[in-house]
Amino acid sequence: MKPLLLSWQLWALLSAAFAALTAIFAKVGIENVQSDFATFVRTVVILFAITAMLFLTDGWQSPSTVPGRSWVFLVLSGLATGGSWLCYFRALKMGNAAQVAPVDKLSVVLVAVFAVIFLGERLSVAHWFAVAMIATGAVLLTFKI
């Protein structure tokens, strides 16, 4: 069991499952709520949950031990996450979850492109084909048929 818990694939699948539940729960939850306020509620819940997780796992670290470069990129990541959440909840308020969520997952395509450009990562031809299929699927799900 322990090797499974150390597998990035397991954690990525769990992330996908929680992201799917996020879309469903959020779509129902924002029915009579302004989308930015819904994002605020979500953020407060996450803040409490992460705080509890840090204490339960003894994961707290002194902020003074975090290098300056890490602070810059963690803050930028937080700002990007906030922007993503605001846009996601607004899109969910206006559209169908089954269409909004796949378009949101075009982030997978963008991560692949950005990782190659900015991080120097390499993808095989098969991986690029998979990225193209993800993009195609997301776009096809936007059409009402």
C-alpha pair distances (Å), 136 with each of 39, 63, 115, 139? 29, 42, 20, 5
Rounded to the nearest integer, the mean pLDDT of the chain is: 93
Mean pLDDT of 71-90: 95
Residue 82 banded pLDDT, cuts 50, 70, 90: very high
Same domain, 25 and 90: yes
Mean pLDDT of 115-122: 97
pLDDT of residue 7: 86
Nearest of 8, 31, 43, 17 to residue 92 by alpha carbon: 31
Domain membership of residue 70 (yes or no) is yes
Closest alpha carbon to 87 in 39, 26, 41: 39
pLDDT recorded at residue 37: 96
Confidence of residue 2 (pLDDT cuts 50, 70, 90): low
Task: Note whether residue 59 is domain-resident.
Answer: yes
For residue 99, being part of any structural domain is answered with no
45 and 86 belong to one structural domain: yes
* pLDDT at 51 (0 to 100): 96
Same domain, 6 and 73: yes
Per the structure, how many domains does the chain have? 2
Q: Do 116 and 89 lie in a common domain?
A: no
Looking at the fold, whether 114 and 44 belong to one and the same domain comes out as no
Give residue 123's domain range: 105-145
Higher pLDDT, 6 or 124: 124
| Domain end (from 51, 73, 94) | 94
For residue 100, being part of any structural domain is answered with no
Residues 87 and 127 in one domain: no
Percent of the chain, pLDDT > 70? 99
pLDDT value at 133 more than 80: yes
What is the per-residue pLDDT for 134?
Answer: 94
